[in-house]
Structure 1
Amino acid sequence: MDLTPVKIRGRKRRHPASVLTEKIQSVSQVFTPEANTSCQKKYKKRKDTVPAMPTLQGLPQELLEIIFLDSMNIALPQSSPALGRRLSSHAITMDFTMRSFFHTVDHKTNHRDRVKTSDPTLQSELLACRFFTWDFFRKYVERAHDAMIKLRGKAWEKTGVEVPGVREFDGLWPFRFTNITYLSFAEGFHIPEKLLHGPWTKDKASLLYVLVSLNGEIDWSGSLSGETAKSGIRQAIKESNEHAVAALAVLLGVPKAITTDMLRCAVIDYGCSINILRHLLFNAQVLAWDTSRDLLDFHDPGLWAWAESHSEKGAILKNMLRKADAFDLEFFFESEDTWREIVPFPYGGSKFDARTAFDNAMVKELLGAHTDEMGDANITTSAWRLVEVGRVVLFNEGQYEGRLATVVEIIDHKRVLVDGPSEKAFVPRQEVALAKLSLTPIVIPKLPRASGVGHVAKKWEEHKVQQKFDESTWAKKRAAMQKRRGLNDFERFKVLKMRKQARYEVQKTFAKIRASAKA
């Protein structure tokens, strides 16, 4: 009888003894020489593989910071959130700011000869970053102030002359902080849009006010900053923030963006603050004559109706509107005694110079100073000899009397640091009072401040300072005087006799001329 095969479902179980023997055999095969050679071959193949180069995110922190600061590419931390977190420390942002502003100007040379490489586009992008706030700006001023003191060297530490610093921004008086030259803002930088709208805080309005005073502008063509500023000034009027209104009124005044609606907003809607209206009308009057009545009208019925219904403020408003229409409104009124409480006009640079800021000849004539023509008179300035770096001086007294030196650094209004590398009469570098020196007309042009001894000697020989002075009338008279002082009694007697002989010959010649004239 044939049996029928039956297929059993499931996994075939193995006997435990057979499994144990298979494991022993596999372990014994691992330690065979053939297995060892195969493992070595595999290990060698892995060793020959070249690892992939890491991306920027895989670089060490120190190397990534060096790349960022050397490239000066502000788009690098903006390209990735991970890179942004690694490159957003205070030290890195401050170093990047110093390289974008302070180090773009050569502060060692004279102010008129400084080489400026400031990039307004880079500075505008940096100002638009979220970390650039009023507190960060003050820290940058402190850092730049310390760098300026360090750059001047030890010669300035003993003088007591103070370098203007962050204290100049207390009270926000433009005539104080606009004289700080080492901030190095580029001409034509744009104010970021984040500062042109509300809500207005004290720090935000202060930063905007300072940037406008430092010649900041609105990017009218490349962004919507102009429209943002128009809505921002309305909110500033509503919140009675005078610093914000003062800054935005300047930005909107020149492009004729102050309208009658803004004046109505300040007068009718928000109670007519005289100080706020002062900034609006003072900036609006500049180009009001060239603006359509539909945009700006100082005789708007709504404004004058409000002035009629309010006696005290209405009288002031009428007077301000009349003067603005006649282009005769002054910023400070004659009867005001509390001018320190008024936010000053944020001026600065040639941007607010009437002779350079406007193209129209009529506006230049109205704003510029009137001069009377004087025919063919030729007016020239006096040839003052100024105490400046590079000026060649002559010692009047002391150990080095009669020797030449050049001014290397100005310590204060009474003392200078001089160096005389002349081979004829050497003068070591020293501090000298100006009362002991005489200024010569010779100047070594473009001599850097606090230059080294070798550089001064090179410039001295290059411009032939000693030769120029020896050929001058001053040196010849001084040499004759010194020679006369060194004569003995017999030599002075000979000079006396020679002068008598010369006088006798002159008189004899005149006598002959007179006798021939009478004949």
Structure 2
Amino acid sequence: MSQFTPIVVRGKRSATRDEKWTSGKRHRNGLTIEALVSVDISDPSKPYDSAEGSGSKPRKRRRRLVYLSRLEELPTEILQVIFDYSTNINLAFASPRLKDQLRSQHLHSQLTSHILGTVLNRDDDHITLDTELAAATRLLGCKFMTWDFFKTWLQEQHAGVYGTTDHYLTAWSGLRPAQGLLPPVKLLHGPWTSERTSFLRIFSREVGDLAALSSIHHETAANGISQAVAESARDAVGTLLSMGVKPTTELLRQAVIDHGCDKDIVIALLSTSTSNHEPARTNSSTLIDLLDAALWAWADNARQNGDEKGVWLVRLLKSKATDYSVSRMQLHDAEVNVAEA
């Protein structure tokens, strides 16, 4: 007869060792019941080691005590009043506890009104301090400052503001923000969602040339427009171009060769650019070469494959070249070089 699995019966004194519920169980010191019974405490050469087997049960970790400062020990209500009066955004970043205590929708709205109030509704002869502009830009870059939060705050400043981004843009311009107020860096790069693009458009009227205001912001925006081209984010491309980001030949190549030649994006890049064949030029790194061999080769190949974008691009390049007085001889040479390649 085959050997059946023994059934454990609790409380059965006459059960075999395998049937007893204590079989294989460990004592609180880590030893099994059988091991405890077999320990010979009378033999000094075999001392009883209570730590044996203790590795099977992890030791309880002692909790580290965190000592709070006197400021952190204050009630949340008092801390929020202090934060409201100080308008010092650094207070919320002093410790994780303070950050949790100062997390309130109402408090964020009050803080926004205080800090942005220093850079809004200023007369033309009023000089806004750099520290005030920096504080406002840092506030706009906070995590709680989302597009939805900003729209809600703007509605509180202008009752009845609603609808499209243009309505909020008009309302923001009506507050007369100070010149030199930079958008937060988080709005100058992708991924280009509709919320991020709409939020960035709010600041586009007051920022004419990012490069003149901040090299960090300009560099981020230059990378951001490359992302916008890759994502076919037309509104983002147009907004960044209006803020002084200069298109380049490399950027136009990416739009045409790498990302499907989106007509709206290509037109925007060429409409904002200056040609490197223009007589008066200052910085060739920000100019587009209308006779770039790679662009003409892509257009000719697309035309041969029946893609109408190739014909369209050739006409657009010729039109822009005419605007910049590129000689017909140069255009003819470009077409010949492509045909011979």
Q: TM-score range by the shorter chain?
A: 0.5 to 0.7
| Structure 2 gap ranges (5+) | 1-68, 325-341
Deviations along 1:307-335, whole A, 9 cap, x unmatched?
Answer: 2233432333234334444557xxxxxxx
- Counterpart residue number, 1:282: 271
Task: Report the residue type matching 1:307 in the other structure.
Answer: A
Which has the larger strand fraction?
1
Structure 1 CA distance for aligned equivalents of residues 323 and 222 of structure 2: 23
- Counterpart residue number, 2:84: 69
Tell me whether 1:317 sits opposite 2:309 in the alignment.
no
Deviations along 1:255-286, whole A, 9 cap, x unmatched?
Answer: xx421110000001111111111221222238
- Counterpart residue number, 2:13: none
8 Å CA contact 1:236–1:242 kept in 2: the answer is yes
Structure 1 CA distance for aligned equivalents of residues 323 and 169 of structure 2: 29
Deviations along 1:218-263, whole A, 9 cap, x unmatched?
Answer: 477766333332222222112111121112223353xxx4211100
Q: Give the one of 252, 255, 263 matched to 1:266.
A: 255
8 Å CA contact 2:275–2:287 kept in 1: the answer is no
Deviations along 1:156-185, whole A, 9 cap, x unmatched?
Answer: xxxxxxxx6232xx1x448x8336544443
SS in 1 for 2:179: coil
Q: Which has the higher contact order (CA 8 A, sep 6+)?
A: 1
SS in 1 for 2:158: helix
Structure 2 CA distance for aligned equivalents of residues 283 and 260 of structure 1: 12
Identity %: 34
Tell me whether 1:145 sits opposite 2:145 in the alignment.
no
Task: Report the residue type matching 1:277 in the other structure.
Answer: V
8 Å CA contact 1:191–1:216 kept in 2: the answer is no
Task: Report the residue type matching 2:309 in the other structure.
Answer: K
8 Å CA contact 1:189–1:216 kept in 2: the answer is no
8 Å CA contact 2:141–2:186 kept in 1: the answer is yes
- Counterpart residue number, 1:204: 196
8 Å CA contact 1:237–1:266 kept in 2: the answer is yes
Q: Residues 319, 234 of structure 1: CA spacing in aligned structure 2 closer, same or farther, 3 A cutoff? A: same
8 Å CA contact 2:188–2:220 kept in 1: the answer is yes
TM-score for both structures, normalised by structure 2: 0.62
- Counterpart residue number, 1:187: 179
The answer to which of 206-215 and 276-285 deviates more is 206-215
Q: Where in structure 2 are the equivalents of 1:154-303 lying within 5 Å? A: 165-167=161-163, 170=164, 172-173=165-166, 177-178=169-170, 180-215=172-207, 218=210, 224-253=216-245, 257-285=246-274, 289=278, 290=281, 291-292=283-284, 296-303=288-295
> Who wins on radius of gyration, i.e. which is larger?
1
8 Å CA contact 2:119–2:136 kept in 1: the answer is no
8 Å CA contact 1:178–1:214 kept in 2: the answer is no
Task: Report the residue type matching 2:235 in the other structure.
Answer: H
Superposition deviation, residue 71 in structure 1: 1.9
8 Å CA contact 1:101–1:184 kept in 2: the answer is no
SS in 2 for 1:166: coil
Task: Report the residue type matching 1:318 in the other structure.
Answer: V
Deviations along 1:52-102, whole A, 9 cap, x unmatched?
Answer: xx7221223232222222222121112222111111211111111112224
SS in 1 for 2:227: helix
Q: Give the one of 98, 102, 109 matched to 1:94.
A: 109
- Kindly report structure 1 stretches of 4+ aligned residues shifted beyond 6 Å: 112-116
SS in 2 for 1:185: coil
- Counterpart residue number, 2:60: none
- Counterpart residue number, 1:129: 142
Structure 2 CA distance for aligned equivalents of residues 89 and 242 of structure 1: 36
Q: Residues 57, 230 of structure 1: CA spacing in aligned structure 2 closer, same or farther, 3 A cutoff? A: same
Q: Residues 217, 56 of structure 1: CA spacing in aligned structure 2 closer, same or farther, 3 A cutoff? A: farther
Task: Report the residue type matching 2:91 in the other structure.
Answer: L
Q: Residues 94, 323 of structure 1: CA spacing in aligned structure 2 closer, same or farther, 3 A cutoff? A: farther
8 Å CA contact 1:191–1:217 kept in 2: the answer is no
TM-score for both structures, normalised by structure 1: 0.42
Task: Report the residue type matching 1:59 in the other structure.
Answer: L
Task: Report the residue type matching 2:249 in the other structure.
Answer: T
Deviations along 1:425-446, whole A, 9 cap, x unmatched?
Answer: xxxxxxxxxxxxxxxxxxxxxx
Superposition deviation, residue 135 in structure 1: 0.8
Structure 2 CA distance for aligned equivalents of residues 209 and 251 of structure 1: 9
- Counterpart residue number, 1:84: 99
8 Å CA contact 2:252–2:269 kept in 1: the answer is yes
| Structure 1 gap ranges (5+) | 1-53, 147-163, 329-519
8 Å CA contact 2:80–2:107 kept in 1: the answer is yes
Task: Report the residue type matching 1:283 in the other structure.
Answer: T
Structure 1 CA distance for aligned equivalents of residues 206 and 276 of structure 2: 22
Q: Where in structure 2 are the equivalents of 1:1-20 lying within 5 Å? A: none
Q: Residues 299, 136 of structure 1: CA spacing in aligned structure 2 closer, same or farther, 3 A cutoff? A: same
Q: Residues 261, 219 of structure 1: CA spacing in aligned structure 2 closer, same or farther, 3 A cutoff? A: closer
- CA RMSD in angstroms comes to 3.3
The answer to which of 317-326 and 240-249 deviates more is 317-326
Structure 1 CA distance for aligned equivalents of residues 145 and 275 of structure 2: 33
